[in-house]
Amino acid sequence: MSKTSIGFIGGGNMASSLIGGLIADGWQADCISVSDPDNQCREHLSSRFSVHTTDNNLSILNTSDVLVLAVKPQVMAEVTQPLAAAVQQNAPLIISIAAGINMADLSRWLDGYHNIVRTMPNTPAMVQSGATALYADSSVDQAGRDLAETVMRAVGLTLWVEKESLIDAVTAISGSGPAYFFYIMEAMEQAGIDMGLSAESARLLTIQTAFGAAKMALESDDDPGTLRQKVTSPGGTTERALSIMEENQLKQIFGQALQAACDRSQELAKILGQNT
């Protein structure tokens, strides 16, 4: 697999994370190339990973078995339409990591091309701890699906969804999810400071507690509800804190918030698809 040539159009943070993960997994640097209009970005990638860089998207496409589209969603149509003829001729596996770009729109911009895998990674991919959902229709064979999963697994967990519409739910949960946890951590830190802890102590305690809870959830056979019950002693401090959260319907608020994120994901996809 490491001999497969892979090209990135767009060399930002997510592309950089994927490149680092792929090289750590044994992918050869001379099989990876990146196109980006920013010279500083290209120099950074070249010096850090020893990959080939250019500002010519077509040259990347002409030498790649796999083409990762890692540009901002707002410019995806502008970037892909000039590549349509070459994509049809070279027939690469295309992996899109752009949020909010539907398969139908991407295929339309590429003159009906269908060998595409749509993915929804999240920002912890930048520390090789991401969660990525993938979707492909029947046009992508098993070898293509395996290859796409190998690429995205370089930065964390991967899972396939059966319907493209579920990508919106994934966006609400894991795509936007890191911000929710940061928000909770921010609130916990402030509460600690208000109760007399130093800012540094409140921050370290909050971060380590979040890390420890996530690690327990990952390594335990119990679901989060059971884990919560196990650390909640009747009449104790944890029960008192959780009772306040229940009284204020925190679960319902989270449900409403995630549904709003899902709805917005659907709205943005329509807007982005109408750009051309």
For 259-271, write each residue's pLDDT tens digit.
999 999 999 999 9
Where do you find CATH 3.40.50.720 in the chain? 6-167
Mean of all residue pLDDT scores within the chain: 95
Amino acid identity at 184: I
Q: What is the mean pLDDT of residues 14-38?
A: 94
CA distances from 238 to 175, 191, 203, 204 (A): 29, 15, 20, 20
Neighbours of 221 (CB within 10 A): 5
- Average of per-residue pLDDT across 49-66: 95
Give the list of residues 6+ apart from residue 46 with CB closer than 8 angstroms, or none. 52, 53
Q: Place 275 in a pLDDT band, splitting at 50, 70 and 90.
A: low
Residues 6+ apart with CB under 8 A from 82: 57, 58
Per-residue confidence at 276, pLDDT binned at 50, 70, 90? low
pTM listed for this prediction: 0.91
Residues of the chain with CATH 1.10.3730.10: 177-267
Q: For position 3, what pLDDT does the model report?
A: 80
CATH numeric code, 177-267 = 1.10.3730.10
Q: Thinking of the domain 6-167, which architecture would CATH place it in?
A: 3-Layer(aba) Sandwich (3.40)
